Amino acid sequence: MIGSFRKMTMRQETGQFLKELEAYAKITLRFKEEIGLLLDQSRETGKMQVFEDVVFFSKFVSKSHELMKRIGPDGEGYDKLSAEFQSGIEKTTSLLKTIVKEVPEDMKIRFTGRFFGMDPDSFASLMALVRELSWVKNWMLDGRKVP
């Protein structure tokens, strides 16, 4: 069961950043611990560029998904957008896996089960995580620093 794994710990600066991000975005982050782990793991392993790529692709995927829902499958350009969306999802997932490959095994299993499965629940969770990570990109675009 996914919920039975130990609680993830994060740096104090990361926890403070995530509180500020929630206030900035006016949302409650559903995957605060996971975002904290991604950020801290990236920092500890010298993979901040990978984290920045994740938030870039997350914003792209999130916006593409919104546009696809708005125009519908019969809308002009939907097929091209759908292909780009699929490519963006694959790239984002690959980048996320690059970050989590060195975390403790139970956390790796937690990420895999929650976000990388081939089922509707995993996809819904991945899309929710991507939406939340897109707020990190918005934060950065406003010239704010990520700890």
Q: What pLDDT, on a 0 to 100 scale, did the predictor assign at position 2?
A: 41
Percent of the residues in the chain that have a pLDDT greater than 70, as a whole number: 95
- Provide the H-helix boundaries in the chain: 12-25, 32-44, 48-71, 78-100, 105-115, 120-141
Q: What pLDDT, on a 0 to 100 scale, did the predictor assign at position 7?
A: 58
Q: What pLDDT, on a 0 to 100 scale, did the predictor assign at position 3?
A: 43
d(CA 46, CA 40): 10
d(CA 134, CA 63): 9
Low-confidence residues in the chain, pLDDT < 70: 1-8
Q: What pLDDT, on a 0 to 100 scale, did the predictor assign at position 27?
A: 97
Q: What pLDDT, on a 0 to 100 scale, did the predictor assign at position 82?
A: 96
